[in-house]
Amino acid sequence: MTIHDHYQQTTREIEVSVLAEFLEDHSDPDHHQFVWAYHIRIENKGHETVKLLTRHWKIMDGVGGQQEVLGDGVIGEQPVLTPGQVFEYSSGTPLATPSGIMSGSYGMETGDGESFDVNIPMFSLDSPHQSIAVN
């Protein structure tokens, strides 16, 4: 079973869409290993060229454990997006719990050297292995 969720957010005319997918074949629930892929689409809906310089992720597992990931670019690239251009990539994350949440931001720069952050929408990492509590 695969669970897909789609999330979207726009900051300063840069639209970020996320599709999260639980990877059953890469997970081992008996050993507390759960893996998700996430597919990112960044579209420049504005009128100025921007460059993605950095990424900042916050990843929280199902019991509140949190990790942060800071780095240059995405998948080894610092893409430049002209008006109307789209950049897409896929990555993944493992957790020790059957659910979690991710959020973050991309550090962007305009052609004039102005820096600004673009929000990545918060998205949930859900698997069919999470227990549902009924009160």
> Taken in order 93, 96, 100, 101, is the CA torsion positive or negative?
negative
The 10s digit of each residue's pLDDT in 18-47 is 999 999 999 999 999 999 999 999 999 999
Fold of 4-126: Immunoglobulin-like (2.60.40)
CA distance 83 to 29: 44
CA distance 109 to 117: 9
Q: Block means of pLDDT (10 residues each) for the chain, length 135 residues?
A: 71 97 95 96 98 98 94 96 98 95 97 96 91 52
- Domain boundary assignment for the chain: 4-126
Can you state the percent helix, strand and coil of the chain, rounding each to 5?
A: 5, 65, 30
Q: What is the pLDDT of residue 1?
A: 39
Beta bridge pairs of residue 86 = 43
